[in-house]
Amino acid sequence: MIGVVAVTSAGRTMARRLAEAWPGEVKLHSGPAADQVRAAWDACDTLVCFLATGATVRLLAPLLSGKHSDPGVVCVDEAGRHAIAMLGGHAGGANALAGRVAEALGARPVVSTATDATGGTPLDSFGADLGFRLADPANLARVGRAVLDGEPVRVVADATWPLPPLSTVDGEGATVIAVSDRAAVAADLVYRPPSLVVGVGASRTAPAEQIEALIEAGLAEAGLAAESVRALGTIDLKAGEPGIVEVARRHGWPLVTFTAGELSAVPVPNPSEVVREAVGTPSVAEAAALLGARAAGRDAGLVLPKRAGTMATVALARLVPRGRLVIVGLGPGAEDLRTPRATEALRRAAVVVGLDQYVEQIRHVLRPGTRVLSSGLGAEEERARTAVELATAGHSVALIGSGDAGVYAMASPALQLAGADVDIEAVPGVTAALAAAALLGAPLGHDHAYLSLSDLHTPWPVIAGRLDACAGADLVLCLYNPRSARRTAQFDEALGIIGKHRAPDTPVGVVRDASRPGQRCLRVSLAELAADPSIVDMRSMVVVGSGRTTTIAGRMVTPREYRWLS
């Protein structure tokens, strides 16, 4: 919950705007400023104070207890020009909240924490989206300074996790950052990944204390940290067993359950016919641990076979993390037409793979430590394969393309190669056709078709047949890859095919480098384009109107022509 403090008319107006923008997230307070701040501090996760920074500091001072426990606080000035992260930038969420407040109010976010100011990855939230827990924050400031100052810093991990980028320099006497579920690990900073699943089998009325003692003994025997346990697994028949439910509640572990059929299909080292006769599967603890871990990773193995008490058994499994592949559409080229989600995905990726000219468009938004793999035209399949292989190996990878990556771009070849052992997300972008159409008017107001005239991957007779069908259906045509320096005959033939179905005066738009420097936008007729096709090249988008497309005040318009039923 976000507590909002406001004492002036302007502040209350902006407070209401936040409440309207984020329904259910905002709690508005009233009364004297000091009372509002204390009430919000006690009841809310973060605070937004529409107060002067000096007043906010004085009101917060008596309430402060510690960097890792205080809520995040954002201060907004009376004019609503700045949203300032005052307290709890990373741990308290104030930096992220400042960005949200700024977006909602049309203000400017002000963030002064060193890693954010330099574009780096904050160590106190390193891997937070993966579920990492910081074992001991005492060395955060010292290690953070080492990273910022470019001193030797080394990251070691038990497994390959899809980590965010971190600018590190290995060398003698390096500061060590460890990602490990091992209880005894020597490092300056230790992050606990959610890598372990505890499988539990229990007799009816098995006490929570016995189950908990077995788990603690098992973790100690295996030399593993309880902070890395992500879930408790058991058979569905035990979903309501009080002892199991209580142990899960005490530790905040999700309880996952499986049917006897699911469990019996898992090979285990210690099956039991007695257990099979009782619940229909030869294993509960070992099989549930393995199934729970495999559901969260790309594979799993037992790190502790079952250990039995008088009324319960436990086993431990460790997952093999899945990597992440984000396929990012950069939009047509303009900075302000790249979506915020795309920018965030680029900043989260440790590896960015893309065409060299697209990489140069976004290199400035990448965080320090990001590995960049760029290549030239014609290497699309190689880029897709590289990105998928790195993500499958466990890394956090962004594969970039212009426009929308799913339209004649990198999503298709990547998804043809990727298996179920990698997490994939697609971030949509503004396509070239949409960027061109916005400049031309409203040519896509009714049904339309996208076609690529490049025969690099598709035989020309197939393209010609599709073009003829779409032109015959009187669809507006968006022609990608229309004409190159060496491939000119196909475009001439394409115009001939279209000309069989469209009048010579059909409006046509030719947009080159939409939204980029040197942008050119031409509106011609089909006959004029056929007379001089040289105005088109591979960086052009050609939009051919339908039989209903017209020109109004110099703009291409295709009527919507809805018919209303009476």
pLDDT in tens, 310-330: 999 999 999 999 999 999 999
Q: Which residues contact 305 (CB under 8 A, 6 or more apart)?
A: 269, 270, 286, 315
Is residue 32 classed as helix, strand or coil in its secondary structure?
Answer: coil
The per-residue pLDDT for range 9-62, each reduced to its tens digit, is: 999 999 999 989 889 888 898 899 999 989 988 889 899 999 988 888 999 899
Whether residues 134 and 78 share a domain: the answer is no
DSSP characters for 94-109? Answer: HHHHHHHHHHHHT-EE
User: In this prediction, what percent of the chain has a pLDDT beyond 90?
Assistant: 73
- What domain range is 257 assigned to? 197-320
Both 447 and 520 in one domain: the answer is yes
pLDDT value at 370 more than 50 = yes
- The owner of tokens 């205080």 is 70
Q: Please state, in angstroms and rounded to a whole number, the distance separating the CA atoms of residues 41 and 46.
A: 8
Pairing of the two strands 299-308 and 312-320: antiparallel
Structure confidence at residue 476 (pLDDT): 97
User: Do 328 and 353 meet the contact criterion of CB atoms below 8 Å apart?
Assistant: no
394 dihedral zone (left: phi>0; alpha: psi -120 to 50; beta) = left
DSSP secondary structure string for all residues of 193-237 = -S-EEEEEEE-TT--HHHHHHHHHHHHHHHTB-GGGEEEEEEEGG
Domains of the chain: total: 5
In angstroms, rounded to a whole number, what is the distance separating the alpha carbons of residues 224 and 508?
67
Cα separation, 268 vs 286, whole angstroms = 6
List the CATH number of the domain containing 315: 3.30.420.180
pLDDT at 566 over 50: no
341 and 418 assigned to the same domain = yes
Q: Please state the rounded mean pLDDT for residues 75-96.
A: 86
Q: What is the CATH number of the domain that holds 102?
A: 3.40.50.11220
Per-residue confidence band for 206, with pLDDT thresholds at 50, 70 and 90: very high
Say if residue 216 is in the same domain as residue 284: yes
pLDDT at res. 256:
97
Q: Which helix (H) or strand (E) holds 552?
A: strand 550-552
Task: State pLDDT tens for residues 520-536.
Answer: 999 999 999 999 999 99
Residues 142 and 221 occupy one common structural domain:
no
**pLDDT on residue 144:** 87
Contacts of residue 461, defined as CB under 8 A and 6 or more positions apart, other chains included, come to none
- Tell whether 346 and 412 lie within a shared domain: yes
Question: Which pLDDT band, with edges at 50, 70 and 90, does 561 fall under?
Answer: confident
Does residue 565 have a pLDDT over 60?
Answer: no
Q: How open is the CA angle 89-94-96, to the nearest 5 degrees?
A: 100
**Angle CA(449)–CA(450)–CA(456) in degrees, nearest 5?**
140
The domain boundary, picked from 320, 339, 368, lies at 320
Question: What distance lies between CA 219 and its chain's CA centroid?
Answer: 33
**Percentage of the chain with pLDDT > 70?**
98
Is the pLDDT assigned to residue 69 strictly greater than 90? Answer: no
Tokens of 312: 């319960």
235 and 172 share a domain? no
Mean pLDDT of the chain: 92
Rounded mean pLDDT of 59-70? 84
Which H or E run contains 314? strand 312-320
